Structure 1
């Protein structure tokens, strides 16, 4: 079933592993850009989808299994970054994507994107990372605290509310925070998120560094400078060590800069993916 909003962004789904893989998209034709989320959901990409489509791209912001609006449920085994990267390959196949593809990742979605490139799981023609995990920058303390401790639904939702409000920074409104929190009202999504938190491990990015240093694929880093967890210093290190990497800094933006500077981020992504 396809639902289209007034902005031309639609939500639809394909079947992957017997479950619905929900995704936001805009535009009909043009080169596909796979947009991957991390500890949030596809909502982080909504502010830039229309602009990408207007530029002739076909953005696809998927919800990982068990998260956002997708079906299924993650376990600690299926929530690891390598396992999620393999799932994205199956999603791309179900979507009919073949040949070179552009990929962008936010948060842990950036680690998944790095795996797609470094392990050559897809033919990634260009890679963009937005306030992504990198090196040993993760898991952030507010995620790591849920790795092994039991928690109630109310405690998890309250913690996610604080994290969302902080990540949105000056863009935060009560309505926007509620939009971001909505999936966590579902117990299945809460269990999947806890599995992702439990599976978070920085070795999944540290182990990729040698392959990334050999990569000649163009890379773009877009970074909200006020992110207190995925600090801009990690982006600076990545840009200095990994070839063909450009860093775009977003002053005054925190962990979800697509909400506070959507125009600038859309422009940077468009220029990069259409170059």
Structure 2
């Protein structure tokens, strides 16, 4: 039960209006506590609904895109299981994710309707929609390529989420660069691979090598804000997906540090 509104109401009411002011303050404080309590309960319920919609829609759409080629490959199943492992989904929660993936594979799966419900559940929050799209790209790149059927479905998903084709292509380019960035990062660095990794770092940040350092810094801060795990969870990202968001921020951080180091050595 919330009481601080009543306590403060009585205190300030008595200070400025004596016993009558205290009574008036008590009544006003009670109204305040009731209003805040109700809003808090509604907010908590709304956040939980958003998280459930995020989880179901994520795996259902992953399943639908995986089926677009006619046969779901072993790599795509492994990616879905890998995501579930990263989220530490166990028991009923994992069964629900697996069921969503299976539902998504149905030929009559209502893709646009499901995404519309998801967008409504998260109140159209742009950073959550972007995170959702990036998870779909992670699934699509399971076999290293995007074929025509997958690309066509990705365009439908992006459109339903409110992203333009240019925005989708930018996300695809950033994700491709991120995969290559990891690969080059694990290799012994030759001059050529080092140059390629630097090029990929710029692509991850969504900037060009001709941009000023201030432009790059602004792009970095924007991306970090968009992928901040705590902020995303507060807006409706399932807590189980925090690790995915953390991985994205780590990749963005590493890309920025590489670019910053190169800029300093060049001056």
Report TM bin, short chain.
under 0.3
Question: Which TM-score applies when normalising by structure 1?
Answer: 0.27
TM-score for the superposition, normalised by structure 2: 0.28
Which structure shows the bigger proportion of residues in strand conformation? 1
Q: Which has the higher helix share?
A: 2
